[in-house]
Amino acid sequence: MREIVFDTETTGMQPKDGHRLVELGAIEIIGRRPTGRTFHKYINPQRDIPSDATRVHGITNDKVRSCPTFGQIAKEFLEFIGDDPLVAHNASFDMTFLNYELEANGFSILPNPVIDTLQIAREKFPGAQASLDALCRRFNVDLSNRTLHGALLDAGLLVEVYVELTGGLQPGLGLVGDEGEELIRHNVRATTAREPRHFPASPEELERHAAFIAKIKNAVWLKE
């Protein structure tokens, strides 16, 4: 099964308030494993990036001034994701921005199925912290390279979290490879059956057993 794990960085919290995307990163996974195919773009939001947002993701106006606008990368992104399921953390936030940008540039909103790992985490661990950082710590996902948020970096972390949240790399009894072949030999070791061995009791052991049984009142062994 092909899925696209993605993340966005923005100038603020709501597109209705004039905020826009500044980074978009996506990772293709098939059979719950990254294939190596990614999509990553910095985007010129055609507006100033507030300092509060820069403190989160480190993206400045200078960094994206010569980058393409969303309209210029939209078709490439749509071709990358196809109609496969999308996986995001707090997916409503990312999908709101994506669909706003798509409609603003003459495209239809995304019909893809959407999987929200935030919702999965809250259902699986009620009352516990469910941020991406908290889930990385829970599942021992390495955060040492993450000093700032980044769309492709966070998507990479989310791949590992998503796999752990949904049962690991082998959620069922069977594993299917990328080309659909059953991996029936996965971690299977060949064994050799031993010949059965007999350990008959000796006459002395039989005599001691009979003497022990004789001491038991109404022993079932003596009943016909």
Amino acid 102: pLDDT:
98
Which has more confidence, 130 or 182?
Answer: 130
Amino acid 172: pLDDT:
53
Strand pairing class (21-30; 33-42): antiparallel
Whether residue 221 lies inside any domain: the answer is no
Domain that holds residue 67: 2-165
Which has more confidence, 198 or 61?
Answer: 61
- The answer to whether 44 touches 69, Cβ cutoff 8 Å, is yes
Whether residue 173 lies inside any domain: the answer is no
Hey, what amino acid is at 46? Q
Whether residue 143 lies inside any domain: the answer is yes
Whether residue 80 lies inside any domain: the answer is yes
Amino acid 146: pLDDT:
78
Residues annotated as part of the active site? 149
Q: Count the domains in the chain.
A: 1
Whether residue 210 lies inside any domain: the answer is no
Amino acid 202: pLDDT:
79
pLDDT of 191 above 90:
no
Interacting residues of 128 by C-beta distance below 8 A, sequence separation 6+:
121, 134, 138
Phi, psi of 191 (to 5 degrees): -125, 155
pLDDT of 48 above 90:
yes
Whether residue 174 lies inside any domain: the answer is no
Residue 181 pLDDT grade (very low, low, confident, very high; cuts 50, 70, 90): very low
> Mind listing the pLDDT tens digit for each residue in 52-111?
999 999 999 999 999 999 999 999 999 999 999 999 999 999 999 999 999 999 999 999
Residue 176 pLDDT grade (very low, low, confident, very high; cuts 50, 70, 90): very low
Amino acid 216: pLDDT:
78
Whether residue 212 lies inside any domain: the answer is no
Amino acid 212: pLDDT:
76
* CATH code of the domain covering residue 79: 3.30.420.10
Amino acid 93: pLDDT:
97
Task: Average the pLDDT over 207-217 and give the result.
Answer: 76
Task: Please state, in angstroms and rounded to a whole number, the distance separating the CA atoms of residues 213 and 18.
Answer: 92
Whether residue 207 lies inside any domain: the answer is no
Task: Please state, in angstroms and rounded to a whole number, the distance separating the CA atoms of residues 113 and 84.
Answer: 7
